[in-house]
Amino acid sequence: MNAKMQYLMIGAICLLLLVTSCRRLPVAPPTVKPSITPTPRSTALPPIPTSIPLGTTSNPVHIVFVVSQDNQSQATPDSNATAEPSAASTASDLEKALLGSTQINVKVDVVTSDADALTALCASPKGTVSAAWMGGLSYAAAFAQNCGSAALEVQRGSGASANTGDAARIISASADINAVADLAKHTYCRLGYTDMYSWLLPSLMIHNAGIGESDLKAINDYTDASQMIDDVVGGKCDAAGISASQFDTLASASAKAAVHSLQQSVSVPFDVLVFPPLLPLAQQQELTTALMAIAGGKQANLLKSLLNQDAVVAASDSDLSGLRTFISGAGIDLAQAGN
């Protein structure tokens, strides 16, 4: 290769290097300045109402007592006895005694009928939680309606004569009346249409025997149980209803020999304390223990005008199953009672 050609090649290489070194480098895009995103404020949720604990000052446990004129008269059996405090005057003292024993705030409500007590008990799910003392028949209705369970019973008498209830007995001195079914076309005597043992319970037995009230010849009302017994013996009453204990106490030896029993009911409790399911078990147990202690202790008068008790004793639904069987056997729909 001659010298001229070499110079040309060297010049070309130098020119190429010069052009390459002069190329513009790519420009990086401008950096975007980050913006500040505001932190959202938390919004408070609407308040959710909370239930007030049962047994507090603002939400006391109610206990309903049935007090009638009969209760008051039984509490003062004779003119020489020391008068018991009235139901109204003892209610506040009983509330204080229960609070001191259990730390549970209790409101004592006094009503005049078992129907009112049953209504209050069964209304517990609506807001006011109420336990109730009620008679045996009303207890059976409360059980049938799933309103509550038995916890306590009233006991009257002491020792061998202590009882928690009484039975109804239908008696007759007539030779041609040997069963309840024989009462058709005969005169029946009672101590009023509202009396438990001479009519309400016997009417169940009469109904169960297939006899209606219209099948009886007549129904005579008495105010004196002793006179009624005498009239059964004398034939003025073909049959009569009476409590078993009352007959055993009032009837003379000759009267007992002259009459015979057609049928006797199961023992029906004087009064049963029924607790609603909404009342916590711990509070049920505390109130049960406290009421038993009050009824049989130095503060017994706080309950005397309300229950006419000598003591209160534990009870359960299983203990009272015989009563419910007796009532259902008469075809009475207790689930509808009080509705």
CATH numbers and ranges of domains, the chain = 61-161+268-336 (3.40.190.10), 168-264 (3.40.190.10)
Q: State the pTM of this model.
A: 0.77
DSSP labels, 152-179:
EEEEBS-GGG-BSEE-EEEEE--TT--S
Q: What is the pLDDT of residues 173-213, one digit of tens each?
A: 999 999 999 999 999 999 999 999 999 999 999 999 999 99
Alpha-helical regions (H) of 166-278 = 201-208, 225-234, 244-250, 253-258
Tell me the three state secondary structure of residue 120. Answer: helix
CB 87 within 8 A of CB 65: yes
pLDDT value of position 105:
97
pLDDT value of position 16:
47
Whole-angstrom distance, CA of residue 294 vs CA of residue 90: 13
CA distances from 233 to 30, 174, 262, 287 (A): 124, 8, 14, 48
Q: Rounded to 5 degrees, what are φ and ψ at 261?
A: -90, 130
Q: What is the pLDDT of residues 52-97, one digit of tens each?
A: 899 999 999 999 999 975 544 444 344 444 445 677 778 999 999 9
**Positions in the chain whose pLDDT score sits under 50:** 8, 14-23, 25, 71-83, 339
pLDDT value of position 69:
54
pLDDT value of position 19:
45
pLDDT value of position 268:
96
